[in-house]
Structure 1
Amino acid sequence: MSKTNAARILDRLKLPYEILEYAVDPDDLAAESTAEKLGLPPEQVFKTLVARGDRHGVCLAVIPGSAQLDLKALAVLAGDRKTDTVPLKDVQPLTGYVRGGVTALGTKKAYPVYVDELMLTFETVAVSAGKRGLMLWLAPQAYLTATQGIVGAIARSSPP
């Protein structure tokens, strides 16, 4: 299995991680499906969303797979009046990654990274390795160090 840019960044920073592999269904890229394939609870598998604030521009929001992004909370944490997710067509040009493989590590440009506080309740979490079918399994603190992530309450429970 070839290393992704995200894995190389962790190597360079001497941060420990494992790579988890799973089968990709291009018609179902939901974090909940990824969690199921990995045998993990969806709240331990974090998805990376691309958002844009009215004052500070593009940022990345990292939230549990079982949650929805709270755009108002993200705006407050980012110092914006309002934020919104970017259209899907803009994700790859902005980050260099395709939907289902977006990670905060190794984006085309260094964007601020905002991480939901639930990440800190786990010993290890899964985040995208920057390629569909590959996840990084690492300690939250290692992820926060590598991404310079800012922690806050930016997720809310998905409706049943």
Structure 2
Amino acid sequence: MSAHERVRSAAAARGLEIEIRERPQASSLAEAAETLGLQPSDIVKTLVVKRSDDSYLFALVPGGRSISWPKLRAIVGVNKLRLPEADLALAATGYERGTIVPIGSTTDWPVYVDETILGRRVAMGAGSHGYSLFVDADELIRAYDATVADISVPE
């Protein structure tokens, strides 16, 4: 099953409407937003984060912001979190870095969403390079019973 088929199947199973579109390469967040007709903050990064017990979680953070490690650790209730090496991220999700999305991940890790994306249609990874997935953020949060919190800081 291709990455797109996996994403589409997982979205359908959760009653989540998505759109996958091919997108040109971009050299910056601003350029990517412009090519998609969006604001930079409408492009959401899905970061896979490793816990010390070798389990993972997804942190969804809008463009122009980055994870606040102290805030995320406090919300998750742990002392240590880190970004895993590329091979561990692939093993944990089935997706390469730059394409990671919670939808269709090989394991349904818990999802933590920065509160700033509420109420918007956002673009995110689509499971394979050169594509963006569009989804209503509130519907994604509902479908994955995500934890919504202040987990980011401006870049």
TM-score by length of structure 1 reads: 0.83
Aligned with 2:152 (options 145, 150, 155):
155
Secondary structure of 2:126's aligned partner: strand
Q: RMSD of the TM alignment (CA)?
A: 2.2
Matches for 1:49-60 after TM superposition, within 5 Å: 49-54=47-52, 57-60=55-58
Instruction: Return the alpha-carbon distance in structure 2 between the equivalents of residues 95 and 3 of structure 1.
Output: 14
Whole-angstrom distance in 2 between the partners of 1:32 and 1:59: 27
1:136 maps to what in 2? 133
Q: Which residue of 2 aligns with 1:125?
A: 122
Q: What is the CA deviation profile of residues 72-94 of structure 1, one whole-angstrom value per residue up to 9, with x for unaligned ones?
A: 11111111123121123321122
1: distance between equivalents of 2:50 and 2:149? Answer: 17
1:7 CA drift (Å): 2.0
Contact 1:31 1:47 in 2 (8 A): no
Pairing partner for 1:98 from 80, 83, 96: 96
2:38 aligned partner, one-letter code: L
- Which amino acid in 2 is paired with 1:147? Y
User: Which structure 1 segments of 5+ residues have no match?
Assistant: none
Q: 1:71/1:140 Cα in 2 relative to 1: closer, same or farther (>3 Å)?
A: same
For the 8 Å contact 1:21–1:135, the answer to whether it is kept is: yes
Shift of 1:62: 0.6
Residue 16 of structure 1 and its aligned partner are, at CA, apart by 2.2
Contact 2:11–2:104, Cα closer than 8 Å, also in 1: no
Q: Cα–Cα, structure 1 residues 146 and 81, in superposed 2: closer, same or farther, change >3 Å?
A: same
The offset of 1:132, in angstroms, is 1.6
Q: What is the TM-score normalised by the length of structure 2?
A: 0.86
Following superposition, the deviation at residue 156 of structure 1 comes to: 0.7
Residue in 1 that maps onto 2:7: 6
Task: Please tell me the residue identity of whatever aligns with 1:44.
Answer: D
**What letter is aligned with 2:134?**
W
Query: Which runs of 5 or more structure 2 residues have no equivalent in the other structure?
Result: none
The within-5 A match list for 1:23-62 is: 23-24=24-25, 28=27, 31-54=29-52, 57-62=55-60
Instruction: State the aligned residue count.
Output: 153
Counterpart secondary structure, 1:130: coil
